[in-house]
Structure 1
Amino acid sequence: MKDQNSELPTFPVLQSKRLVLRQLRQDDLTSVCAYLANFEVTKNLSTQPHPFTEADGVSYLESVRAEDPTQNITWAIEHAGVFCGNLRVKNLQGTPRVGYWLGQDHWGKGFMSEAVFAALCFLFEERLVPVVQTGVFEGNPASLRVLEKLGFTVTGKSTHPCRARGRILLDETELEMATARFTEISSKN
Structure 2
Amino acid sequence: MFPDLTRDDVFRIETRRLWLRWPTARDAEAVSRLAGDPAVARMTAPIPSPLPLHEAEDFVLRARAGNAVGDWLIMALCLRANPAQAVGIIGIEPRPEAEAPHLGYWLGRPAWGEGLMAEAASAMVEAYFAYANGRALASSVMLDNPASRRILERCGFVPAGQGAFFSVARGETVAADTFRLDRAGWLDRRGRAS
Same fold by TM-score, threshold 0.5 exceeded? yes
Q: Which runs of 5+ in 2 are unaligned?
A: none
Q: Return closer, same or farther for 1:188/1:107 CA change in 2, 3 Å cut-off.
A: farther
Alpha-carbon separation, structure 1, partners of 2:140 and 2:94: 14
Q: Which residue identity lines up with residue 62 of structure 2 in the other structure?
A: S
Q: Deviations over 1:111-166 (max 9, x none)?
A: 11111111111111111111111010110010001111221100100011101112
Aligned to 1:25: 24
2:93 paired residue among 65, 75, 90:
90
Alpha-carbon separation, structure 2, partners of 1:43 and 1:185: 31
Q: Which has the larger displacement, 11-20 or 133-142?
A: 11-20
2:185 paired residue among 158, 181, 185:
181
1:110 paired residue among 109, 112, 115:
115
Aligned to 1:134: 139
2:175 paired residue among 143, 147, 171:
171
Q: CA deviation at 1:36?
A: 1.8
Q: Deviations over 1:76-115 (max 9, x none)?
A: 0111223110101102996221000000011111111111
Q: Deviations over 1:14-39 (max 9, x none)?
A: 11121111100111122111102210
Alpha-carbon separation, structure 1, partners of 2:10 and 2:134: 17
Q: Could you state the TM-score of these two structures normalised by the residue count of structure 1?
A: 0.89
Alpha-carbon separation, structure 1, partners of 2:192 and 2:88: 27
Q: Which runs of 5+ in 1 are unaligned?
A: none
Alpha-carbon separation, structure 1, partners of 2:118 and 2:136: 18
State the identity as a percent.
23
How many residue pairs match? The answer is 184
Asked whether the equivalents of residues 9 and 22 of structure 2 are also in contact (C-alpha less than 8 Å), the reply is no
Alpha-carbon separation, structure 1, partners of 2:186 and 2:76: 23
Q: CA deviation at 1:9?
A: 2.8
Q: Return closer, same or farther for 1:17/1:43 CA change in 2, 3 Å cut-off.
A: same
Alpha-carbon separation, structure 2, partners of 1:15 and 1:140: 27
SS at match of 2:175: strand
Q: Which residue identity lines up with residue 89 of structure 1 in the other structure?
A: I
Structure 1 outlier segments of 4+, above 6 Å: none
Q: CA deviation at 1:11?
A: 6.8
Alignment of 1:57-76 (within 5 A): 57-68=56-67, 69-76=69-76
Asked whether the equivalents of residues 131 and 176 of structure 1 are also in contact (C-alpha less than 8 Å), the reply is yes
Q: Return closer, same or farther for 1:18/1:41 CA change in 2, 3 Å cut-off.
A: same
